[in-house]
């Protein structure tokens, strides 16, 4: 019984140690090959990168330009899904996402084209994920 519990614990630790979020190769700092402005996500504040990315997307695309946006965004490493999917909830006409993980940070760029809206929605976020298998030296006071 102890052997089985030890084996189960070892499997759980191994599963946590793997990083399931990769999102492909490292995004560029600034514009990608297709022209998408990723911003200086590696050095700038999350809010600044988000504001610049949203501004770029709203200047570059209008609703109705989903085909143009999909071509460009997929060239820059985004994964896109159209609105023809059985999610059981309202979905955008086009939804594109680019995720990249480095160290303990997950960077995500999203673009959504919703019907009856004048311009697409865009967002950048940075999430810090702590790895439970690592030791973090922190100040306690």
Residue 4 has pLDDT above 60, yes or no: no
pLDDT tens, residue by residue, 55-107: 999 999 998 899 999 999 999 999 999 988 887 788 999 999 999 998 888 99
Average pLDDT over residues 106-134: 89
Torsion region of 92: left, alpha or beta (phi above 0 gives left; psi -120 to 50 gives alpha): beta
- Kindly report the backbone phi and psi dihedral angles of residue 41, in degrees, each rounded to the nearest multiple of 5, phi listed first: -65, -20
pLDDT of 8 reads 36
Q: Give the chain's end-to-end CA distance (angstroms, integer).
A: 42
Tokens found for residue 81 = 């899904």
Cα distance between residue 138 and residue 78, in whole Å: 36
Cα distance between residue 20 and residue 133, in whole Å: 15
pTM: 0.75
CA 12 from centroid of its chain's CA atoms: 25
Residue 129 has pLDDT above 90, yes or no: no
Average predicted confidence (pLDDT) for the chain:
81
pLDDT of 136 reads 59
């Amino acid at each position: 019984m102890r052997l089985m519990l030890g084996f189960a614990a070892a499997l759980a630790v191994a599963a946590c140690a793997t990083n399931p979020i990769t999102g492909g190769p490292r995004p560029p700092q600034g514009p990608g090959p297709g022209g998408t402005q990723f911003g200086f996500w590696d050095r700038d504040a999350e809010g600044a990168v988000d504001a610049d990315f949203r501004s770029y997307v709203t200047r570059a695309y209008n609703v109705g330009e989903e085909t143009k946006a999909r071509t460009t965004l997929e060239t820059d490493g985004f994964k896109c899904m159209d609105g023809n999917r059985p999610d059981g909830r309202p979905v955008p006409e086009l939804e594109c996402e680019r995720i990249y993980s480095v160290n303990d940070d997950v960077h995500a760029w999203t673009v959504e084209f919703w019907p009856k809206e004048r311009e697409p929605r865009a967002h950048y976020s940075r999430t810090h994920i702590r790895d439970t298998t690592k030791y973090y030296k922190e100040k306690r006071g």
